[in-house]
Chain A
Amino acid sequence: MRPVALVGIGKTAFGAFADRNLSSLAVEAGEKCLRNAHAGPSQVESFYLGNFAGPAFVGQNHLAPYVSTALGILGVPATRIEAACASSGSAFFHAWTEVAAGVYDLVMVVGVEKMTSQPTARVSQILAEAGDCSGEMKVGSTFASLFAMIARRHMHEFGTRKEHLSMVAVKNHAAGALNPDAHMRKAITLEQAMAAKPIAEPLNLYDCSLVSDGAAAVLLAPLERAREFAAKPVRVLGIAQCSDYLALDQKADITTFPAVRRAGELAYRMAGVSAREIEFAELHDCFTIAEIVATEDLGFVEKGRGGPYAFAGCTSLAGERPVNTSGGLKAKGHPVGATGVAQICDLVLQIRGEAGARQIVRHSLGLAENLGGSGATCVVTILGAA
């Protein structure tokens, strides 16, 4: 396999944009990415789109060539990947395999979701279809309720407390307040986070990520050609995608995500690094408990200690290993199909030293973890300066 580099990134702001459609968001991110790499659309040899539910949210299917042609990328393979909230992480993984295998040199990945044109109950229904609709979802579960059940069990087994969960929200809002592209740019107090209205007990409004519109894009190239496009290329050191059951009731232990553990182990092995060496991370905080469990599954902290680890500030911007310096899904926003690629863009910004007010001091080795559903898909990527 050839070493692969990121040579361009582009993102829209995340938010609720009544005047923007799916195509305009995807095109904005894609064009910014091409400009960032000093490349033109005719140079792109293969195109991937990560998108979860375009057909349900905006009534458009066959989305990959719909977006690629709008970007002026004509004639080449254009492929959509759907893997729930890990759609664009998975698209990124498959784009990486093409470049690593030497099939193509220049491959673009765009992730996009346009969610806010639907009312909340309809959004919940569409998101619920990423669970097992023949079982757990048939009884009226929501994604919040699945993660709430994970939180309850984690609390029961390990003594994790509600304030541990809320501190994750406080931390990610603090980082999001420094991110000009974040959906929610508002710091909150622990008291506010604890007192919000319940969504699925013990999770309340501040434990849940946002329903957002947005898009993100990256351009991949073989490392040997990276400097044709980028002054500061970033190298993909390790990457893996793993899978697991959709339904929580089929898993032996719901306080851990086996797909995250395995993808982490494989990515660490490929990169030749240990969990201890990872300096910062973008983790999939679709709900606060998910970030706590991810810090455990990725080996940042021992099993069951993720709550106190977050509460002590170890994962804050000034902590020993900052997690979600972008604000995470919690504050940056969670346009489902855009999230995986957006995480990659946020790692690249830190590694290049371009993260502005939220720039951290140790920023040469970062990890992104993109989770689909309640753990049925996971993509872990490790990036470092090239």
Chain B
Amino acid sequence: MRSGIVYTETVIWSAPEAFAADVPYQTAIVALDGGGRVTARVAGDRVAIGDRVTEAEPRNGIPFFHKA
């Protein structure tokens, strides 16, 4: 599983129709330990810039990370 540091994040309150049932939900750009960045959903507790995160099980092909 990948891990990294939160580069930026937001909590979404107004969603596209395919995600309306999930509101509110957090997304983040994670700077991966191996280099590169990925945009992912956040599972569990909210995260902030600089937090260390590790990858959780993907859901419906969507990458999820949670606080390490």
A residues engaging B (CB < 8 A)?
120-122, 124-125, 128, 135-136, 138-142, 144-145, 148-150, 152-153, 156, 197-203, 247-250, 254
A140/B16 in contact, CB under 8 A: yes
Closest to B49 in A: A156
> Contacts A138-B61, A248-B39 given: A149-B14 contact, CB under 8 Å?
no
Expressed in whole angstroms, the Cα–Cα distance for A138 and B9 within the complex equals: 16
A139/B41 in contact, CB under 8 A: yes
- How many B residues face the partner with a CB closer than 8 A? 29
A149/B37 in contact, CB under 8 A: no
Closest to A119 in B: B17
Is B68 in contact with chain A by the CB < 8 A criterion?
no
Task: Identify which of A197, A202, A248 contacts B29 (C-beta below 8 A).
Answer: A248
Closest chain-A Cβ to B14's Cβ sits at a distance in Å of 5
B39/A124 in contact, CB under 8 A: no
Closest chain-A Cβ to B52's Cβ sits at a distance in Å of 16
Closest chain-A Cβ to B23's Cβ sits at a distance in Å of 9
Task: Identify which of A128, A139, A145, A249 contacts B37 (C-beta below 8 A).
Answer: A249
Is B40 in contact with chain A by the CB < 8 A criterion?
yes
Closest chain-A Cβ to B65's Cβ sits at a distance in Å of 10
Q: Interface readout for B1-36 with A: 1 if CB under 8 Å, 0 if not?
A: 000000111111111111110101101110000000
List A contacts of B9 (CB < 8 A): 149, 152
B16/A128 in contact, CB under 8 A: yes
Q: Which residue among B22, B24, B27 has the maximum number of chain A CB atoms within 10 Å of its CB? A: B27
List A contacts of B10 (CB < 8 A): 145, 148-149, 152, 200-203
List B contacts of A198 (CB < 8 A): 11, 13, 24
Expressed in whole angstroms, the Cα–Cα distance for A145 and B26 within the complex equals: 9
Expressed in whole angstroms, the Cα–Cα distance for A135 and B38 within the complex equals: 8
A138/B15 in contact, CB under 8 A: no
Closest chain-A Cβ to B22's Cβ sits at a distance in Å of 6
List A contacts of B20 (CB < 8 A): 121
A141/B39 in contact, CB under 8 A: yes
> Contacts A124-B16, A140-B19, A142-B14 given: A153-B62 contact, CB under 8 Å?
no
Closest chain-A Cβ to B35's Cβ sits at a distance in Å of 12
List B contacts of A142 (CB < 8 A): 12, 14-16
Expressed in whole angstroms, the Cα–Cα distance for A140 and B61 within the complex equals: 12
The 8 A-B pairs with the shortest beta carbon distances in the complex, nearest first, are A148-B10, A121-B17, A140-B19, A136-B39, A249-B37, A125-B16, A149-B8, A153-B8
Expressed in whole angstroms, the Cα–Cα distance for A247 and B24 within the complex equals: 22
B12/A200 in contact, CB under 8 A: yes
B15/A122 in contact, CB under 8 A: no
Pairs A–B under 8 Å by Cβ, sample size 23: A124-B15, A124-B16, A135-B39, A136-B39, A139-B63, A140-B15, A140-B16, A141-B12, A144-B12, A144-B14, A145-B27, A149-B27, A150-B8, A152-B8, A152-B10, A156-B49, A198-B13, A198-B24, A199-B12, A199-B13, A199-B14, A200-B13, A203-B10
Expressed in whole angstroms, the Cα–Cα distance for A248 and B37 within the complex equals: 9
